[in-house]
């Protein structure tokens, strides 16, 4: 795989879980320092505390690590505008479209996500890969 890689929230969550091969694959991707957005960091904190029983302190420690390891990009007004365009064009949720917009605006060619359609190409530039189905 060439080009910049963007990781969705589910990879962060799996990297912190005990889900065998999914956890190992997710950790490998996160440790490689992909691009993520502030949305991904915030969603990870919310999911880890609400659904997986992490304390807020533990989730914040993970967030701090992500800020060190990953290239964290902002979600700005232009990101929201681009997300709205993707919602209208592809019929995706607002939150998924924000991830896609952040990935495109940061020049990524691959989006690792379990939540989107594996193999889908967005705007001819960004390929969605479910890393738990495919080997890169």
Does residue 57 form part of some domain? Answer: yes
- How far apart are alpha carbons 82 and 107 in whole angstroms? 14
**Is there a domain that residue 134 lies in?**
no
Average pLDDT over residues 70-89: 97
> What confidence tens digit (pLDDT) does each residue in 82-104 have?
999 999 999 999 999 999 999 99
Query: Read out DSSP for 25-77?
Result: HHHHHHHT--EEEHHHHHHHHHHHHHTS---HHHHHHHHHHHHHHSEEE---H
Task: Determine, yes or no, domain membership for 136.
Answer: no
pLDDT-based confidence at residue 136 (cuts at 50, 70, 90): very low
Q: With a cut of 50, say whether residue 12 has pLDDT above it.
A: yes
Q: What is the pTM of this model?
A: 0.92
Structural domain range at position 103: 4-129
Mean pLDDT of 9-25: 93
Q: Under DSSP, is residue 18 helix (H, G, I), strand (E, B) or coil?
A: coil
Q: Are 48 and 58 in contact (CB under 8 A)?
A: yes
CB proximity list for 30: less than 8 A, separation 6 or greater: 7, 11, 12, 15, 66, 69, 70
User: Mean pLDDT for the chain?
Assistant: 94
Q: Which CATH number does the domain housing residue 21 bear?
A: 3.40.50.1010
**Is 56 among the domain residues?**
yes
Total domain count, the chain: 1
Residue 75 domain-assigned (yes or no)? yes
């Amino acid at each position: 795989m060439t080009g910049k890689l963007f990781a969705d929230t589910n990879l962060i969550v799996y990297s912190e879980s005990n889900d065998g091969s999914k956890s190992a694959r997710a950790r490998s991707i996160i440790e490689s320092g992909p691009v993520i957005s502030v949305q991904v960091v915030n969603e990870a904190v919310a999911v880890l505390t609400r659904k997986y029983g992490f304390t807020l302190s533990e989730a914040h420690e993970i967030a701090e690590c992500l800020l060190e390891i990953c290239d964290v990009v902002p979600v700005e007004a232009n990101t929201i505008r681009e997300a709205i365009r993707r919602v209208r064009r592809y019929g995706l949720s607002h939150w998924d479209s924000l991830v896609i917009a952040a990935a495109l605006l940061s020049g990524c060619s691959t989006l690792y996500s379990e939540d989107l359609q594996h193999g889908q190409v967005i705007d001819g530039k960004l390929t969605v890969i479910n890393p738990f189905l495919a080997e890169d």
